[in-house]
């Protein structure tokens, strides 16, 4: 009898421990969500404040041609930034809510990568940047839309943070039953102190260099989320000299 009581006390303790753990997790999630909403509000306010300031100025001095030009350029830039932010925030929240909607299918990686590179080469050319791709034939199970989002975001960064006449090289190979994909660019690189933080939402190495290229600090956090949801991993490799290299790894099929 006393053994039964002991067992039931132990089971109750275990339940209590699990409940405590769940409460802690919920509290941490709530905290993260509050911080996320705070960050979003702040990030949205900045371009809106600038647009509002120009509209107020135009209301006061509507016959100033210099102001008109300046306002047009600034409003266009800030509107584009807002547009990109809304798009990324929607992608992030779609990812949170519709997990079950992700539809994994068999993808030939080399084909997928060549497709993304071709899609991004027009944008790269406009900046005088060349994209090359050498990919070994291999298959992974992945949601195709997520695959596209991941590599479009990474290539977009490799273009945004590159130098004129720069290069981007996409490589993939099959090793130890995993498909490893690297994206190497000849750009401005990522400083040592920022390496740990670049995957955090809203983190930008330098607000100015990100803003100039319409950055929001959401791209890499979205990428990491998507990669992990597809059972993959992403790391920023150490580089000697200039540029950045991101390595992604997915289980091969």
CA distance 195 to 234: 13
Nearer to ligand ADP, 34 or 207 (CB): 207
Question: How near is the Cβ of 62 to ligand ADP at its closest, in Å?
Answer: 34
Member of 150, 155, 205, 227 binding ligand ADP (CB under 6 A): 205
Mark the segment that binds ligand ADP (CB under 6 A) among 69-77, 105-113, 129-137, 209-217: 209-217
* Residue choice 121, 146, 186, 210 for contact with ligand ADP (CB under 6 A): 210
Radius of gyration of the chain, Cα coordinates, nearest whole angstrom: 23
Is residue 203 a contact partner of residue 197, using CB atoms and an 8 Å limit?
A: yes
Helices (H), the chain: 2-60, 65-97, 109-126, 144-160, 207-212, 219-229
Nearest to 232 by CA among 250, 213, 218: 250
- Contacting range for ligand ADP; rule: CB under 6 A; set: 39-47, 92-100, 118-126, 198-206: 198-206
Burial 73-104 (b: 16+ CB within 10 A, else e): eebebbeebbebbeebbebbeebeeeeeeeee
Q: Is 107 in the site for ligand ADP (CB under 6 A)?
A: no
Q: Which one of the spans 35-43, 94-102, 155-163, 226-234 is the region binding ligand ADP (CB under 6 A)?
A: 155-163
Which one of the spans 49-57, 74-82, 169-177, 207-215 is the region binding ligand ADP (CB under 6 A)?
A: 207-215
Q: Are the C-beta atoms of 155 and 125 separated by less than 8 Å?
A: no
Q: How far is CA 179 from the centre of its chain?
A: 20
Residues 168-187 that bind ligand ADP (CB under 6 A): 185, 187
CB 162, min distance to ligand ADP, A: 7
Distance CA 146, CA 14 (A): 38
Judged by CB under 6 A, the residue of 75, 152, 188, 252 near ligand ADP is 188
**Distance between terminal CA atoms of the chain?**
53
| Options 23-31, 68-76, 118-126, 219-227: segment touching ligand ADP (CB under 6 A) | 219-227
Tell me if 176 sits within 8 A of 136, measured CB to CB.
no
Quick one: 146 or 244, whose CB is closer to ligand ADP? 244
Query: What residues make contact with ligand ADP under the rule CB under 6 A?
Result: 157-158, 161, 185, 187-190, 198, 203-205, 209-210, 215-221, 244
């Amino acid at each position: 009898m006393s053994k039964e009581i002991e067992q039931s006390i132990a089971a109750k303790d275990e339940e209590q421990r699990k409940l405590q753990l769940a409460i802690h997790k919920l509290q941490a999630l709530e905290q993260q969500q509050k911080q996320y909403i705070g960050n979003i509000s702040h990030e949205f306010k900045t371009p809106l404040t600038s647009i509002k300031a120009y509209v107020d100025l135009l209301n006061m001095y509507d016959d100033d041609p210099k102001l008109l030009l300046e306002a047009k350029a600034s409003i266009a830039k800030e509107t584009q930034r807002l547009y990109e932010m809304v798009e990324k925030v929607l992608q992030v929240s779609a990812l949170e809510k519709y997990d079950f909607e992700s539809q994994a299918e068999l993808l030939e990686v080399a084909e997928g990568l060549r497709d993304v590179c071709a899609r991004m080469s027009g944008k790269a050319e406009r900046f005088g940047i060349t994209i090359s791709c050498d990919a070994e034939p291999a298959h992974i199970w992945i949601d195709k839309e997520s695959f596209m989002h991941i590599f479009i975001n990474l290539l977009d960064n490799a273009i945004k943070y590159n130098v004129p006449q720069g290069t981007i090289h996409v490589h993939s190979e099959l090793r130890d039953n995993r498909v490893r994909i690297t994206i190497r660019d000849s750009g401005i690189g990522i400083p040592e102190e920022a390496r740990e933080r670049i995957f955090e939402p809203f983190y930008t190495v330098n607000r100015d260099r990100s803003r100039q290229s319409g950055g929001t600090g959401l791209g890499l956090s979205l990428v990491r989320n998507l990669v992990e949801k597809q059972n993959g991993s992403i790391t920023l490799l150490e580089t000697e000299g200039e540029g950045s290299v991101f390595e992604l790894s997915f289980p091969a099929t």
